[in-house]
């Protein structure tokens, strides 16, 4: 969480809990195709975070903190989802998969990058999903590498493998990410086909990549997807509004998905304080869109890309990394603080 998002968690009164759950990733080490070290730099210099201010936290810990903050004030239903939405009456008639039906004044879709609520409102995802040229797998591997509070990133042009150690955890998070001009959407849904795809892409890769491919084959909770953003002309329709990745996923290449989801949720709530959803939804978009656009633009290209595709761009990226340690302390990226929250209105 960075910039304006920290103001949101502060106003929610959960900043101390968030800081308590903070993980401290100290170094990022980059490796060449043969596994030799290119550079080892303080982690915040690559993520654009401000050391000592911005917060890195496990997704599950953040979810727990948010859940505890609201669970006594609202009814929370697990293991169910919306089957149909009907706005032809005076509210939104919702049928759930469980068979339950309810009529709500307003509905908010916060259901992620592949949001079914968005599909109900605006149609198939292909129209709004902007493919950014990569696909990836994330999965866990045993920490046989002795890594602690650090990340290691192996690159060859268009291919990356990364390991991420949260403190001294016994499990590491592994990422395989590779460039592909067209999204292999059909392949990603088929376990055997996608394993074959990864094995062919990384066939001649060095370092620990062969053992990561073996771990990927064994993994029963690997997560696969293409890297992309959501760009919608409107974030609401009638009495239904979208928030977070469902409306404006920026992709993990920006590192800002959680921050803009938190800021977007705050702005949506603030815009509805007067109770008029037509004016409220319009204000939400008007006051938040520029912030979202600036953060979505943080996807680097060419040598500034997190995962350079050509040999030339990778070499330039590596040269820049070698000088990072001697650069002044990062002040954070302007996009992270590009929105000032409206004043709190009480009563």
Judged by beta carbon, residue 112 or residue 206, the one nearer ligand FAD is: 112
Q: How far is the CB of 3 from ligand FAD (least distance, A)?
A: 11
E-only strand ranges, 209-334? 223-230, 236-237, 240-242
Q: How far is the CB of 19 from ligand FAD (least distance, A)?
A: 16
Q: How far is the CB of 47 from ligand FAD (least distance, A)?
A: 8
With tokens 């999204």, the residue in question is 183
Q: Which residues contribute to the site for ligand FAD (CB under 6 A)?
A: 81, 110-112, 116, 138, 244-246, 249, 252, 255-259, 261
Judged by beta carbon, residue 33 or residue 110, the one nearer ligand FAD is: 110
Q: How far is the CB of 46 from ligand FAD (least distance, A)?
A: 12
Residue nearest to ligand FAD (CB): 257
The Cα–Cα gap between 7 and 285 comes to 19
Checking phi first, is residue 159 left (phi over 0); if not, alpha (psi -120 to 50) or beta? beta
Judged by beta carbon, residue 259 or residue 294, the one nearer ligand FAD is: 259
HSE-CB at 48 with a 13 A cutoff on CA atoms is 19
Judged by beta carbon, residue 81 or residue 340, the one nearer ligand FAD is: 81
Name 23's Cβ contacts closer than 8 Å, sequence gap at least 6: 56, 57, 58, 149, 166, 167
Q: How far is the CB of 309 from ligand FAD (least distance, A)?
A: 19
Helix and strand tally (H, E) in the chain?
A: 12, 13
Per DSSP, the residues of 262-297 read HHHHHHHHHHTTTS-HHHHHHHHHHHHHHHHHHHHT
Judged by beta carbon, residue 256 or residue 271, the one nearer ligand FAD is: 256
């Amino acid at each position: 969480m960075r910039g304006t998002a920290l103001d949101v968690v502060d106003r929610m009164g959960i900043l101390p809990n968030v800081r308590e759950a903070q993980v401290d990733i100290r170094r990022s080490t980059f490796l060449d195709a043969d596994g030799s070290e290119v550079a080892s730099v303080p982690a915040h210099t690559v993520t654009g975070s401000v050391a000592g201010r911005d917060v890195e936290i496990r997704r599950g810990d953040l979810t727990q903190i948010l859940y505890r903050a609201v669970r006594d004030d609202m009814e929370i239903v697990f293991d169910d989802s919306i089957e149909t939405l009907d706005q032809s009456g005076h509210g939104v008639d919702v049928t759930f998969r469980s068979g339950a039906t309810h009529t709500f004044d307003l509905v908010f879709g916060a259901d992620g990058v592949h949001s079914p609520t968005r599909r109900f409102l605006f149609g198939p995802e292909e129209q709004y999903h902007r493919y950014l040229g990569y696909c990836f797998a994330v999965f866990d591997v045993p920490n046989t590498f002795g890594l602690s509070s650090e990340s290691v990133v192996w690159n060859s042009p268009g291919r990356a493998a990364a390991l991420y150690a949260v403190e001294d955890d016994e499990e590491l998070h592994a990422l395989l990410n590779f460039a592909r001009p067209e999204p292999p959407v059909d392949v990603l849904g088929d376990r055997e086909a996608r394993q074959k795809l990864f094995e062919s892409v990384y066939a001649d890769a060095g370092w620990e990549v062969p053992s990561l491919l073996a771990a990927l084959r064994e993994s029963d909770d690997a997560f696969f997807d293409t890297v992309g953003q959501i760009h919608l002309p409107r974030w609401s329709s009638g009495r239904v509004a979208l928030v977070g990745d469902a409306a404006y996923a920026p992709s993990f290449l920006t590192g800002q998905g959680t921050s803009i989801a938190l800021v977007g949720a705050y702005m949506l709530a603030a815009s509805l304080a007067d109770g008029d959803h037509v004016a409220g939804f319009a204000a939400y978009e008007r006051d938040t869109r520029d912030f979202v656009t600036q953060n979505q633009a943080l996807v680097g290209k060419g040598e500034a890309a997190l995962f350079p595709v050509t040999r030339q761009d990778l070499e330039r990226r590596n040269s820049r990394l070698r000088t990072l340690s001697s650069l002044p302390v990062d002040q954070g990226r302007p996009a992270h603080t590009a929105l000032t929250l409206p004043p709190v209105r009480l009563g």
